[in-house]
Amino acid sequence: MFYKLALSIPQALLAISASRTMASPALGRSLHSIQYVADVPYYISNADIKSGLENDSITGPCTVIPYMDPTTTDYVRDIIAAFSSEDDVWSSEFLDTVVFDRSPSNVQPAEDVLNLLREHGTRNVSFRREFLGGQHLSWGPYWLENKLLHKVSRLYSDDVDAFVMSTVPSEEDPFEYRPLGVAIHGKYNPASLSIAVPSRMYYKRSAEFPFAGLRIAVKDNTDLQGVRTGVRKLLELGAVVVGKTKTTQFADTEWPTADWVDFHAPFSPRADGYQSPSGSSAGSGAAMAAFEWLDFATGTDGCGSLRSPAAVEGLFSLRPSHGVTSMEGIIPWGAEFDTFGGLARDAAILETISRVLYDSHSSDACTRESTDFVRRFYC
């Protein structure tokens, strides 16, 4: 069931939420599979889901909210607050159209709920029936066009040149990724890639998927298609790959800028921005230090390739024992030395992921609750 809301809002807001058959220039404008919402670029997934809307003239940003009986103003207010505080992809402009998912047929919206949505600039409200198309929706931001909903990813600029490519999941296989060759931030950063970052609201963590929605970057010496490495473990537990990060040639020792030939070295966000990012997991270290929207970055370490970037970027990392996880699908610097691991800003995230990566090789010695530390040093 669809409701068109008559809004009592300032003229300035009316200007950006004007009725349209195509997205209005201020609220949403398109560039192939890229849409702008309030001048923020978004990548629009090709996969579509039935919205339940009857009006096919509505095109633009949309928010999906799970229906609750009764749907009260407190419930809607809490949902909007959660979106605002927990998601760096959603914005209030996505409230232009609101779809309540899994609602019973012939539901009637309460007038106080409609008034609350009007206050937030909502023009259209729809109630999507239970099991429409046999598919429940993840709540969060979407792009609505021709009565179909498309998931969105916000495009962030790679300001430190840490990535060699942006990736998006394949629509056929969630474990496969394809490159997204987009550089949409040319006005400010002409040489920077745009990294597609999905909404955190699409994912709900559970015992089965403890890393659901965890955004990770993968060092470019690691295969992504049909991998059998530790990356596969993270994907099976719900992690999402947003891109591949730069590494030195053959993961060898290189120092900027003389040694970097094929690509410019990543810029370290520390200090004056011109310090060495170290290596060889240089891109993973720079990305983790620079971007709050990234949760974890993978890397390899044969002779300090994780530990050195962690040291210069102020991150947490470790070199696991050789052989504790498979290196299949990874181009090694030295097969007798290389190990697989990662970097994080949060020690708790590093610990949690390390337990998963190295679980089959864990022992009482490395998992016990108490730890003995060195208490006396001699120089």
Q: What is the pLDDT of residue 337?
A: 85
**How do beta strands 60-66 and 97-103 pair?**
parallel
Q: Can you give the pLDDT at residue 365?
A: 40
Strand 240-245, strand 215-219: pairing: parallel
What per-residue confidence (pLDDT) applies to 50? 79
Mean pLDDT within 115-128:
92
Determine contact, residues 288/300, Cβ cutoff 8 Å.
Answer: no
Confidence check: pLDDT of 14 > 80: no
Cα separation, 117 vs 129, whole angstroms: 20
Gap between the Cα atoms of 362 and 357, Å rounded: 10
- Return the SS3 of 174: coil
For residues 174 and 185, the answer to whether their CB atoms sit within 8 Å is no
Which of the given ranges, 179-188, 208-217, 333-342, has the highest pLDDT on average? 208-217
**Interatomic CA distance for residues 236 and 102, integer angstroms:** 27
Residue pair 245/342 in contact (Cβ under 8 Å)? The answer is: no
Confidence of residue 368 (pLDDT cuts 50, 70, 90): very low
Residue 214 φ then ψ, to 5°: -65, 120
Given this model, what pLDDT does residue 51 score? 77
pLDDT at position 135 is: 63
Q: Which of 280, 330, 323, 331 is nearest to 301 (CA)?
A: 280
Residue 56 pLDDT level (bands cut at 50, 70, 90): confident
For the entire predicted model, the pTM comes to 0.84
Mean pLDDT across the stretch 206-212? 92
Give tens-digit pLDDT for 131-184. Answer: 555 567 889 999 999 888 999 999 999 999 999 999 998 888 878 888 888 888
Q: What is the pLDDT of residues 258-306, one digit of tens each?
A: 788 888 899 999 988 888 899 899 999 999 999 999 999 999 998 899 9
The pLDDT of residue 96 is 96
- For residue 121, what are the contacts with CB-CB under 8 A and spacing of at least 6? 7, 9, 13, 17, 92, 93, 95, 96
DSSP of 19-62, one letter per residue?
A: --SS--TTTEEEETTEEEETTEEEEE-S--EE---S-TT--EEE
Which residue matches tokens 């530790």?
Answer: 230
Distance CA 255, CA 248 (A): 9
307 versus 171: which is more confidently predicted? Answer: 307
User: For residues 150 and 134, what is the distance between their CA atoms, to the nearest angstrom?
Assistant: 16
Q: Are 287 and 160 spatial neighbours (Cβ–Cβ below 8 Å)?
A: yes
Average pLDDT score over residue span 358-368: 55
Query: Of 9-18, 57-66, 255-264, which gets the smallest average pLDDT?
Result: 9-18
pLDDT at 104: 75
What is the model's pLDDT at position 118? 95
Q: Indicate whether 20 pLDDT > 60.
A: no
If you average pLDDT over residues 207-226, what whole number do you get? 88
The pLDDT of residue 215: 97
Task: Lowest mean pLDDT of 12-21, 22-31, 65-74, 240-249, name the range.
Answer: 12-21
C-alpha torsion angle, residues 77, 82, 84, 90 (rounded to 10): -110
Structure confidence at residue 4 (pLDDT): 53
Residue 332 has a pLDDT of: 78
Q: Say whether pLDDT at 364 is over 50.
A: no
Q: Residue 225: which of 329, 331, 325 has the closest Cα? A: 329
Q: Which residues partner with 143 through β-bridges?
A: 61, 150
In this structure, of 17-26, 94-103, 179-188, the range with the lowest mean pLDDT score is 17-26
Closest CA to 194 of 155, 221, 165: 155
Q: What is the CA radius of gyration of the chain?
A: 23
pLDDT at position 30: 53
pLDDT given at position 29: 54
Provide the pLDDT for residue 98.
Answer: 94
Phi and psi, residue 65, nearest 5°: -125, 135
The mean pLDDT of the chain is 82
Average pLDDT over residues 97-104: 85
Q: What is the DSSP letter of 89?
A: S
